């Protein structure tokens, strides 16, 4: 009997499906792809320019501060890269869970005669790319600013790349190892739940931290002193054992002395190499056990508590079909960690919003009566944007998420109208409470007149209904039935169209109401009376626009849903 050669697909072969998928995605003629790409690239360029200009200004100021200027620039870089390291670690931990344990291609790969080391390499590379690309993109304008301000020269870019590669590998290996350990302890799906909450909380915390530092003070010359205090007082958690510290020292060494910091470079590369070896060994010992455990689903019981029973009783008058639809929506939302955890981000968004209003400089020189009173009105625009983005996150994906279970709803005698209105109310009711609360609190902080209070509350209530109607409507017209991750749905082309339409709606409402509000403020300032006919006409028009924007999309969505064949 002859011994057959043992097949062993190489690393390149294992990556072929990913490469081909990416190529197909690039070449696909999906509707609106060009427009979405243009908008995304434009936003990206604006974001780059913003980062570059802010950092450029700060670094230029630092360069001119005698003695401690360079120290401050280094400290800032250390701070940024310590944050990057933490972000990368978290991102890699989460991504590794999907790529190593939950991805759909794993059954085929694990069952095939693939060498464990090649599987580790392929999955690690996938994890690294998926979790690091954003940090890499953000770093480009930063290094450009450092390079220009401190005269890094043409080779600076290459030098940074040589430092950056091991800097990305270290958190990737570490993240994959942490995930491997977690999966061996907890069930994979429970691990995913825990990690998604931790990730959202970390992201929310970072946004809050950034906001509470009040970076807008940097834009004022007198604020620079407080920044120096800030950087000095904050004392970055420095340690010679931190890769971000080696990175900072190596970069600043080049920018100051113009020479390569061989020690920093060696520390980064040897650590990355050593981590890779240990990570691979850990993978060899624990991966199969963890992967097998990840296939077992944990039992999860769920009972209807007193709240569920109370809601069931309260909803009895709407009939069994609508009641069951609403209860189902609520259960699915609150039992899905990836969904409810977004409420944390929502809370952060609201806190940041109220914080911004609290710190608006509405007193002092140059602040007129009109300016003070127009801010609460413009507040409607910002509140509208906040509501639109929340509706995009929670209401827009509502119909898409029914994709796989649409057979059940379509084969039942329930009308699609009931389905859409159930989704509308489940999303709109909390959104309305939130909208009224935001506007009430901010109007209270701004100490507006009773008239403006009434206008703001009335307008935001109408706008909430309209934005919700548009979200459910556009979500049905541009469904993503195959997407399992609800968080990806708002970033689709339909999500973009929804956001653009929302902006138009908010603009139309605010412009329509600007005329009567201006008349009222003029009358208040000059002691006259505003025309009540004009008031009724313009406010009536704004209300009509909102009512149409609520009902029309739902009507169109109903027709579309009745035609869906799934």
Residues that bind another protein (CB under 8 A): 189, 297-304, 319-321, 323-325, 327-328, 331-332, 335-336, 404-415, 563, 565-566
The stretches of 213-242 forming alpha helices (DSSP H) are: 223-234
- Comparing CB distances to another protein, the nearer of 162 and 327 is 327
- Comparing CB distances to another protein, the nearer of 123 and 323 is 323
SS3 of 360, please? coil
Q: What's the angle, vertex CA 99, arms to CA 45 and CA 182, rounded to 5?
A: 115
Q: Are 203 and 347 in contact (CB under 8 A)?
A: no
Pairwise CA distance, residues 192 & 184, whole Å: 13
507's tokens = 């603009």
Q: How far is the CB of 377 from another protein (least distance, A)?
A: 42
Q: Are 182 and 92 in contact (CB under 8 A)?
A: no
- Comparing CB distances to another protein, the nearer of 415 and 491 is 415
Task: List the one residue out of 186, 170, 2, 158 whose CA is nearest residue 97.
Answer: 186
Question: Which residues 6+ apart lie within 8 Å of 351 measured at CB?
Answer: 208
Pairwise CA distance, residues 326 & 423, whole Å: 7
Pairwise CA distance, residues 427 & 444, whole Å: 26
Q: How far is the CB of 412 from another protein (least distance, A)?
A: 4
Q: How far is the CB of 112 from another protein (least distance, A)?
A: 22
- Comparing CB distances to another protein, the nearer of 248 and 329 is 329
Q: How far is the CB of 327 from another protein (least distance, A)?
A: 8
Q: How far is the CB of 213 from another protein (least distance, A)?
A: 39
Q: How far is the CB of 452 from another protein (least distance, A)?
A: 43
Pairwise CA distance, residues 139 & 164, whole Å: 10
- Comparing CB distances to another protein, the nearer of 25 and 566 is 566
- Comparing CB distances to another protein, the nearer of 105 and 324 is 324
Q: How far is the CB of 187 from another protein (least distance, A)?
A: 10
- Comparing CB distances to another protein, the nearer of 71 and 409 is 409
Pairwise CA distance, residues 443 & 463, whole Å: 17
Exposed/middle/buried for residue 181 (C-beta within 10 Å: 0-12, 13-18, 19+): middle
226's tokens = 């407080």
């Amino acid at each position: 009997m002859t011994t057959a050669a043992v097949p062993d697909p190489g690393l390149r072969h294992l990556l072929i499906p990913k490469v081909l998928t990416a190529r197909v995605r690039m070449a696909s003629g999906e509707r609106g792809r060009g427009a979405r790409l243009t908008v995304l690239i434009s936003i990206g360029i604006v974001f780059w320019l913003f980062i570059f200009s802010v950092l450029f200004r700060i670094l230029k100021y630092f360069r001119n501060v005698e003695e401690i200027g360079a120290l401050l620039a280094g400290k800032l870089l250390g701070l940024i890269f310590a944050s990057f390291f933490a972000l990368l670690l978290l991102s890699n931990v989460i991504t590794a869970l999907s790529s190593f344990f939950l991805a759909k291609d794993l059954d085929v790969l694990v069952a095939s005669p693939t060498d464990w080391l090649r599987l580790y390499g392929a999955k690690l590379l996938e994890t690294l790319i998926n979790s690091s690309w954003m940090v890499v993109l953000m770093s480009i304008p930063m290094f450009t600013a450092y390079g220009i301000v401190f005269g890094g020269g043409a080779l600076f870019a290459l030098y940074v790349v040589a430092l950056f590669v091991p800097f990305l590998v270290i958190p990737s290996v570490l993240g994959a190892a942490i995930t491997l350990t977690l999966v061996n302890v907890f069930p994979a799906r429970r691990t995913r739940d825990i990690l998604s909450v931790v990730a959202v909380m970390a992201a929310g915390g970072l946004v809050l931290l950034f906001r509470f530092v009040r970076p807008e003070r940097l834009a004022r010359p007198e604020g620079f002193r407080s920044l120096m205090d800030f950087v000095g007082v904050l004392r970055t958690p420095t340690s010679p054992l931190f890769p971000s510290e080696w990175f900072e020292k190596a970069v600043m060494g080049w920018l100051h002395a113009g020479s390569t910091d061989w020690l920093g470079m060696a520390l980064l590369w040897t650590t990355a190499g050593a981590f890779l070896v240990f990570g691979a060994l850990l993978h060899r010992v624990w991966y199969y056990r963890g992967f097998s455990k990840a296939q077992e689903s944990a039992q999860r019981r769920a009972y209807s508590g007193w709240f569920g029973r109370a809601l069931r009783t309260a909803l009895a008058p709407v009939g069994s079909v609508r009641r069951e639809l609403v209860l189902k929506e609520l259960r699915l939302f609150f039992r899905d960690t990836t969904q409810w955890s977004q409420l944390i981000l929502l809370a952060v968004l609201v806190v940041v919003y109220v914080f911004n209003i609290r710190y608006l400089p509405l007193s002092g020189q140059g602040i007129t009566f009109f300016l003070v009173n127009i801010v609460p009105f413009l507040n409607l625009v910002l509140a509208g944007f906040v509501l639109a983005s929340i509706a995009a996150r929670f209401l827009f994906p509502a119909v898409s998420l029914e994709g796989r279970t649409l057979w059940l709803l379509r084969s039942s005698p329930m009308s699609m109208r009931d389905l859409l209105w159930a989704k509308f109310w489940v999303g709109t009711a909390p959104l309305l409470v939130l909208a009224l609360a935001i506007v009430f609190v901010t109007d209270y902080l701004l100490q507006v007149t009773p008239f403006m209070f009434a206008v703001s509350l009335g307008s935001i209530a109408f706008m909430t209904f309209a934005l919700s109607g548009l979200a459910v409507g556009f979500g049905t017209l541009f469904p993503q039935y195959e997407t399992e991750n609800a968080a990806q749905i708002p970033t689709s082309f339909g999500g973009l169209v929804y956001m653009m339409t929302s902006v138009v709606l908010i603009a139309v409402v605010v412009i329509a109401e600007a005329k009567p509000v201006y008349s009222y403020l003029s009358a208040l300032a000059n002691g006259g009376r505003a025309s009540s006919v004009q008031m009724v006409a313009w406010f009536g028009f704004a209300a009509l626009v909102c009512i149409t924007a609520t009902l029309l999309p739902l009507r169109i969505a109903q027709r579309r849903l009745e035609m869906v064949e799934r």
